[in-house]
Amino acid sequence: MDQATQAVVDELVGNAHGNLERVQEIVVRQPDLMNAKASWNETPIEAATQMGNRPIIEFLLDHGAQIDFFTALALGRLDEVDNELKAHPDRVHERGIHDLPALYFAAIGGNLGVAERLLEAGADVNARAQAAAPIPHRLTTPNGTPAASRWRSTGPTSPRFSTDRRVSDVDANRAGHITARQRFRLLRGVGSLLLMTGIGLVIAIALGPNLLNAFGDLGIFGGLLVTIFFLLCLAMAVGGGLGVVFVLGDAVLGRVSSVTGAPTLRRVALRTNSLTRPFPSTYTYPDQYKYKVMVGDKEFDIDPMLADHLGRDTQKVRVYFAAYSGKFLSLEPLAATASGG
């Protein structure tokens, strides 16, 4: 598979975690990619199954995706699950995409009957699930007790929803504050900006008073080259200085802005960005990428794990970002938040 096609597959699989509209656009345009694997070894149906996203799962199945045991669990197809367990009893202990246990897929699909069948077959309620999405509250027993509650309480959830630091980040950002940890992350970028500003400023100061002499000593062509280099260094100093001001403004004042909308994911090849060059190099690192999410009219860099976990049934998200520099701070899936309340 060539690099351009792989990029489309990665976009398809990334959006299969929650963006039905974008999945439909890609599949209609390139149906032959239905069962292709992303660069992180995941197919579209596996991505949708991981999130328990029934509309996307059903759309993919209608267009030729291959169903497996774990997708049947998420869809609550009890007869198929029962037949598979009778033929292969050990399947109850197998793990699906991202090393998720079988019981997880029944839980994420909200299927009590399938979950009970797995428990009867010996499923481990304490199986760890590092890449789990939030389990829906509708998976309950008749008396209102959450089914497989022990498994839900011990298995870590998605990084955006678990009880780790990201939840407190969202809470703080929602209140309009940047957390101390986020301030530190912003300040880490100040060093490179200061270096760029310093280099540009030193060279600009050294060349500025001698520009006229350059035309006399080097001729018109040489003088023009020196002038262009001076202007580039001056722009580097001014741009770096403004960057420092914006980042320091975010770190000191801590103002947060937000944007709401349907997320669109894309993958961009990683390029060199050396400070010794006035322009970014055209060289791209093979098989190395960064991920971006577009929400509204703004685009943000996000880590691959967040791209992989973007929203179960999430039609809209709210992204919180630093008000001055526009740096991504945290992401809140509105549909998941509403259902989890």
Question: What share of the chain has pLDDT > 70, as a percent?
Answer: 75
- 170 and 307 fall within a common domain: yes
In a domain, 80, yes or no: yes
pLDDT digits (tens, 9 = 90+) for 113-129: 888 889 888 887 766 65
| Strands lying side by side in the sheet with 298-302 | 264-271, 284-295, 298-302
pLDDT attached to residue 140: 38
CA–CA dist 305, 315 (Å, integer): 19
- 229 and 270 fall within a common domain: no
- SS3 of residue 63 by DSSP: coil
- Residue that finishes a domain, picked among 224, 253, 282: 253
Domain limits for position 202? 188-253
206 token code pair: 């050294």
Instruction: Specify the number of domains making up the chain.
Output: 3
pLDDT attached to residue 154: 31
- Residue that finishes a domain, picked among 225, 253, 281: 253
- 219 and 236 fall within a common domain: yes
Looking at per-residue confidence, does 249 or 199 come out higher? 199
pLDDT attached to residue 59: 92
The CATH number linked to 97 is: 1.25.40.20
pLDDT attached to residue 310: 63
Please state the pTM of the whole predicted model. 0.45
- Residue that finishes a domain, picked among 235, 253, 271: 253
**pLDDT at 36 exceeding the cut of 80:** yes
CA–CA dist 96, 114 (Å, integer): 16
- 144 and 17 fall within a common domain: yes
In a domain, 233, yes or no: yes
CA–CA dist 251, 266 (Å, integer): 28
pLDDT attached to residue 284: 58
Pick from 149-158, 182-191, 309-318 the range whose average pLDDT is largest. Answer: 182-191
- 51 and 130 fall within a common domain: yes
Q: Per residue in 153-186, is it b (16+ CB within 10 Å) or e — as a string?
A: eebebbbbbeeeebbebbebbeeebbbeebbeeb
**pLDDT at 281 exceeding the cut of 80:** no
* Mean of per-residue pLDDT scores for the chain: 76
Chain mean position to CA 126: 27
- 172 and 314 fall within a common domain: yes
- 313 and 226 fall within a common domain: no
pLDDT attached to residue 255: 84
pLDDT digits (tens, 9 = 90+) for 319-332: 899 888 888 888 87
pLDDT attached to residue 197: 84
277 token code pair: 């060059």
In a domain, 183, yes or no: no
pLDDT attached to residue 156: 32
